[in-house]
Amino acid sequence: MNGATTSGELRAHNRARLLRAVHDCGAARTRSQLTRDLGLARGTASVLVAGLAADELLHEEPAREHGRGRPTQVPGPHPRGPLALAVDVREDAWELAACELGGRATTLAVRPHDGTPQDALGTLAEALAAERDRLGHRVVGAGVALAGPVRHGGLVDIAHLGWRSIDVPRLLGLPPAVPLSVGNDTAFAALAEVRRGRLRGVRVGLHLHVDFDPGGVLVVDGRPLGGAAGSGAEFGHMPLTGGDRPCPCGARGCWAMEVGANALLRHVGLAYGGGRGREQAARVLATSGEAVAANARALGRGIAALVNAHDPEAVTLSGLGAELRERAGEELWAACEPYLMAIRREAPPRVEGSALGWRGALLGAMESVFDAFLTPHGLAGWRQNQPDQGRDTPDQQNVMYSTSKAENAP
């Protein structure tokens, strides 16, 4: 039941359903396919599309391939339509992108930072404010992924950077008119994998994201489980491999001490920590088979423990996790299999690399914004905020530029 009791409420509900379907399919399905998928009458769909086009939410283009007769139309993002600002804040740099309906993300800026909240979030606040001023009413929200546990909607802790209870919304200072979603990078990467990757349609899945250290989250019925305070994606701080090395988080024997870029650097005797050494870790990954194998074995053993606990249908790996699987998949599985319960070994879950590479956290931040926007309430707000007359100039509306080349993204 959708709760609609009037024709106006039903129309608002169907507008949101149609836009959600366009977004989820990557703006790749024709109007007739969407009409069939949603169980709408053809006339109803035509009226909805026309109204959404008038509100500058949708724009139709002819399908690239079609049969005889009138060309089939494919609904997609309007050139003056809504944009989500999405950010991936890693330990050493951040990336800012503008994302349109359907999921296309255009990098706007990439900037290194010194690891302090003031430099990382201060410069990001300036960039967000500049893009909000430039794009105006098109910005329907901002999503920010961070490499640490996020509590109570915005307090972040990143132990190896010394961040403790950093109030992200306060430092970013966005106006109330721009809804802000702040989340853990692994949880957002899992959300993206559910919507656009290899966890789509999986009822119970496990997603692991490895950067300087690993994070993980359980996904049930398409939703990453966040925990009571929102900081549930912290498998990296479980003692999964039998070690006892002290971790910057305050615990001992954390899985994070054995897997990730920091562990690669430590294995070959290089300095590590503080969110530094990404380039050196990439060289170790490419040249030291021993370090890679040790990482892969620790990753595999931890996966076994999590599979025993959660019984997932699939395990997906992003970031360095996908690269470790690609380079040392045999070592990973050889370390995983002996630690599986017998009933798990009989029908083990598939373990595969993410379909989204390193982009998962950014795309998940985008999804968090559109989840709030693609509702009757969110669409009503868009209509209220539309300029009464005139539009921004094409130059102001253009998001196809970058202040730093995308290939330099962290």
Do 111 and 165 belong to one domain? Answer: yes
With 50 as the cut, is the pLDDT of residue 339 above it? yes
Confidence of residue 405 (pLDDT cuts 50, 70, 90): very low
Mean pLDDT over 69-93 rounds to 92
Question: What CATH number does the domain containing 36 carry?
Answer: 1.10.10.10
**Closest alpha carbon to 284 in 325, 327, 224, 240:** 327
* Beta partners for residue 252, in sequence order: 246
**What number is the average pLDDT over the span 311-321?**
97
Task: Indicate whether 263 pLDDT > 90.
Answer: yes
Please report the pLDDT score of residue 66 as a whole number.
57
- Are 178 and 314 found together in one domain? no
Give the mean pLDDT of the chain: 91
Got the DSSP string for 156-209?
Answer: EEEGGGTEEEEEHHHHH---TTS-EEEEEHHHHHHHHHHHHSTTTT-SEEEEEE
The pLDDT value given to residue 386: 80
Average the pLDDT over 256-272 and give the result. 96
Nearest to 275 by CA among 410, 383, 130, 140: 410
In this predicted structure, the answer to whether residue 170 has a pLDDT above a threshold of 80 is yes
C-beta contacts of 166-172 below 8 A and 24+ residues apart: 166/117, 166/121, 168/121, 168/144, 171/117, 171/118, 171/121, 171/122, 171/125, 172/121, 172/124, 172/125, 172/128, 172/142, 172/144
Task: Return the CATH number at 252.
Answer: 3.30.420.40
Residues 166/170/174/179 CA torsion (nearest 10 deg): 70
Candidate from 68-72, 291-295, 354-358, 392-396 with smallest mean pLDDT:
392-396
pLDDT digits (tens, 9 = 90+) for 225-244: 988 888 776 899 999 998 89
Within-domain flag for 2 = no
Please give the average per-residue pLDDT across 33-59, as a whole number.
Answer: 96
Report which of 347, 341, 371, 302 is spatially closest to residue 84, judged by C-alpha positions: 371
Domains in the chain: how many in total?
3
CA distances from 97 to 49, 187, 264, 362, 409 (A): 27, 18, 30, 8, 11
The answer to whether residue 65 scores a pLDDT higher than 90 is no
Report the relative pairing of strands 314-319 and 350-353 from DSSP bridges.
parallel
State CA 328 to chain mean position distance. 26
The answer to the question of residue 245 being in a domain is yes
Q: Are residues 270 and 291 in the same domain?
A: yes
| pTM of the full structure | 0.91
234 and 327 fall within a common domain: yes
Residue 289 lies in a domain: yes
pLDDT of residue 410: 35
- Rounded average pLDDT over 26-49: 96
Q: Could you tell me if residue 370 is inside a domain?
A: yes
